[in-house]
């Protein structure tokens, strides 16, 4: 069974890597194969023979799975070759990580009725906002190249020039960015406030304002300010990008970063 699980993980990673190198018209079908294999690998890793497990590696892997799903959907209407060239290699690397770092045994917590929905919605939130951060990174690169003017245009056939040619227009990237942020913020709202209001039902203890809770609420505030500024004052460009990066960095500190430090560096379970 363990050998079969390893094979599924490796096949999912291979499908992503091959799709990364294929032309767009063929990559979509292989991405679906990779997504199906990745989903099966995630399910087996999180809910294996030993019960529920979750930690920084499954969170990162699930985040990239969601990112590939969203990218595939967006690819139905706009060109996402440049985004594919960034996301798919990282997704391929993330697939086998749960085999190396399975995380904590959450079988006891899974008996609480609200625990698993909270965990699932939270993972979805981080996945969508991770894609927002990636979009913001691509927008930053494209914006800097445009400000370079003729120098960027004269790059000719350089890899960076070809990368920029594959990017959607900045206005399209911006529209996609705020779609990600809006959806991610809605999911983050459900995650944050379910944790605050139903802490005993989810975690079996009263609410504690530890670093995870504080960073999560501050990140929620950052994204709320960004969306309000976008709607009321038309925020865009560098202001939107900086707030996106800041909000996502806070989420990484709240969850993935804390799990990485506890499980890998401090070996605390």
Domain boundaries, the chain: 2-265
* pTM as predicted: 0.74
pLDDT digit string, tens, across residues 208-228:
666 777 888 899 999 999 999
pLDDT digit string, tens, across residues 22-70:
887 889 999 999 999 999 998 888 876 666 777 778 878 888 898 898 8
Q: Is 77 left (phi over 0), alpha (psi -120 to 50) or beta?
A: alpha
3-state secondary structure 138-183: HHHHHHHHHHCCHHHHCCCCCHHHHHHHHCCCHHHHHHHHHHHHHH
For the segment 5-19, the average pLDDT, to the nearest whole number, is 93
pLDDT digit string, tens, across residues 101-139:
887 777 776 677 777 777 778 888 888 888 888 888 878
- Give the pLDDT score at 19: 94
Is the model's pLDDT at 15 over the cut of 70? yes
Residue with the bigger pLDDT between 161 and 70: it is 70
**Cβ atoms 27, 230 nearer than 8 A:** no
Is the model's pLDDT at 258 over the cut of 70? no
């Amino acid at each position: 069974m363990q050998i079969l699980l390893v094979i599924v993980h490796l096949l999912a990673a291979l499908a992503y890597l091959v799709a990364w190198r294929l032309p767009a018209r063929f990559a979509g079908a292989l991405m679906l194969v990779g997504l199906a294999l990745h989903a099966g690998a995630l399910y087996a890793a999180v809910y294996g023979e030993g019960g529920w497990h979750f930690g920084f590696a499954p969170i990162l892997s699930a985040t990239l799975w969601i990112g590939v799903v969203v990218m595939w959907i967006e690819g139905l209407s706009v060109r996402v070759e440049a985004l594919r060239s960034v996301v798919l290699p990282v997704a391929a690397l993330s697939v086998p990580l749960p085999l190396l770092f399975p995380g904590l045994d959450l079988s006891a917590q899974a008996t609480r009725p609200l625990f698993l929905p909270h965990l699932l919605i939270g993972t979805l939130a981080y996945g969508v906002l991770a894609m927002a951060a990636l979009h913001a990174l691509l927008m930053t690169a494209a914006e800097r190249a445009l400000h370079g003017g003729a120098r960027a245009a004269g790059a000719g056939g350089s890899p960076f020039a070809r990368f920029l040619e594959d990017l959607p227009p900045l206005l399209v990237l911006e529209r996609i960015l705020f779609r990600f942020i809006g959806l991610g913020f809605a999911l983050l709202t459900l995650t944050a406030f379910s944790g605050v209001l139903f802490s005993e039902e989810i975690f079996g203890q009263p609410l504690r304002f530890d670093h995870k809770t504080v960073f999560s609420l501050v990140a929620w505030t950052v994204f709320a300010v960004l969306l309000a500024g976008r709607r009321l004052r038309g925020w865009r460009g560098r202001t939107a990008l900086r707030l996106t990066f800041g909000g996502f960095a806070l989420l990484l500190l709240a969850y993935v970063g804390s799990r990485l430090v506890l499980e890998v560096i401090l070996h605390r379970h």
